Structure 1
Amino acid sequence: MRADDGWIWLHLNLGDQRCLRWLSQSLAVPQGLAVEFTETSQRQYLLVRGDYLTGHLNDFRHEFDRDCTEHAWLHLLMAKNFLLTGRVKAVQSAERLRKDLTHGMVFAGPAQLLSHTIANYPDTLDGLHHALLDELEIIEDHVLDERHRGERKRLMLARREMAQLHRHMRSLRRALVHAERTLPNFPEGLAPVIPRLAHLDQDFEVMEARARFFHDEIDAKLASETNRQLYILSALTAAFLPPTLVAGLFGMNFEGLPWSGSSWGFYIALGLCLLSSAAVWLFLWNASRR
């Protein structure tokens, strides 16, 4: 985008290896700044280097067919007469900015354009926070309705996304707070972003605590269900063990077995099996009442 008063915004695909040479030759960007702009960073920051403002911010990858929360880096380089943004993967902030410009939004200079770009981050994070909150409430309903099977994995995925978003949001907040303290001309449009991020920080902490509580509740329900199943299995094993022993004794092919010559021998042995099972059930029932 080129403005009438002589400044320009360029969004570059840093996957193209020619970007580094083009920055030095066409815009006279110092070699060190050009390298810093095109290289990948591991942290978010905004710094002044001479007459330039440079930085790396964490953005969200832009997908044309679906919403995406995968993180991607937005590279920034600003001077008096231009704002450069770059990416390796398509980012949502550049797409939003393109739509705003298409709809006729006007910016006085590169600083205002940069402020508008970063000011959209809290809106995106707030939308993702509400989406995760809705997911958490659905999980809560299922847990309360005793339909918690499968919800543990679903909750773990939601908690992982919460942690990632919260981590990157805190990093962005630290970068902006540091920039506000150190930059001589901190863009005015970025000042309201910091308290909004602080408020979102508290919202994410509350949501993560709530998710941990649901995780503990699901684990407790699963443990209770497992214990109940083990109790039933133990009771069945204990109930069938005496009849198995009786049947084994009377099934031996030896002389002298009781009632082996009686026509009622089978029924007597069957009665002993039933009586032994009943005795075990009575014992377990009395034990459970204590």
Structure 2
Amino acid sequence: MLPSIAPALQAAARAALHRGPGPCGCDAVTLADRPDGTVVRHGHTVAKVHAPGTDPAELRLRLAVAAHPALAGVLLPPLHDAAKPLEDRLVTFWPHGTPVDPDHPEHAPWEAAATLLARLHTTPMDRLPRALPPMRGPLKAARALARLHASAPDHPAARPVRHAWDTLPPWARAEEPYAHARALCHGDLHLGQLVRRPAGSGDWHLIDIDDLGIGDPAWDLARPAAWFACGLLPAEDWARFLTAYRRAGGARELAAPDPWPALDVPARALTVQTAALAVTKATAAGRPLDEAEVAVVDACDRMVRVPPDLGRDAAK
């Protein structure tokens, strides 16, 4: 196993917050430590080291979007307008915010998440930096399938997951340019991507710009849609989320009385991605799938028997 970059990142976070080398008394916490991204907090500064191979030019553009006045109150703005190098990786610095409490799902800010997405999706493109990269949602899904193939190809659950993947159109598998790309999208929306700022009592903001870019707004609603379809998100929470998105004036096709023609393929792709990661992680841990993981694998099995609605592709 490779050594953790967290100690070096803590030192970088401390240097970003303090000018001198003396004692500071700030608390230092490692928030996440994974090969694809380590996050630490030093006092009220958060430092994130991005995945190996992160494109510096694309990250710079994403930072510019997060700092843009047009996105004030939507995306958490960075503390610096450029990433800094650290051991052949790139580091960005952010103000600390309070995340969603995973122990109290009844307090999940579904309305806030939907409202922020609606504002993100309706940001005028002419106010944003040019040449923004594509939203990376389909690429993340494809990478999840590649991990499944590499680490758990013979797991009994791998077959329905792969078969469900094969039913999706090429653009949803990152094999062709993304269809319906026309708006600024987050690319990896889940409740872990929201924080309150100022910490503790402020407004909710979206965080994590690694997958931000031009894409289909349906992809940002696809994960809660998939959870709802798999029975993992109560109908009332899904209704709260969708109603708030409509009230905030989100994308027209998603605010329609029936948004599923737009949501169907992205929700299926997120279901497959979730199932692939679940099987991969369970295999690595040497444990059986838990109840939620079985639910998403079962959903993949059902998806094979009911082909996706490709009506929007046919209308291109």
Q: What TM-score comes out, normalization by structure 2 length?
A: 0.28
| Higher-RCO chain (CA-CA 8 Å, sequence separation at least 6) | 2
Give the alignment's TM-score, normalised by structure 1: 0.29
- Indicate the structure (1 or 2) with the bigger Cα radius of gyration: 1
- Which of the pair is proportionally richer in helix? 1
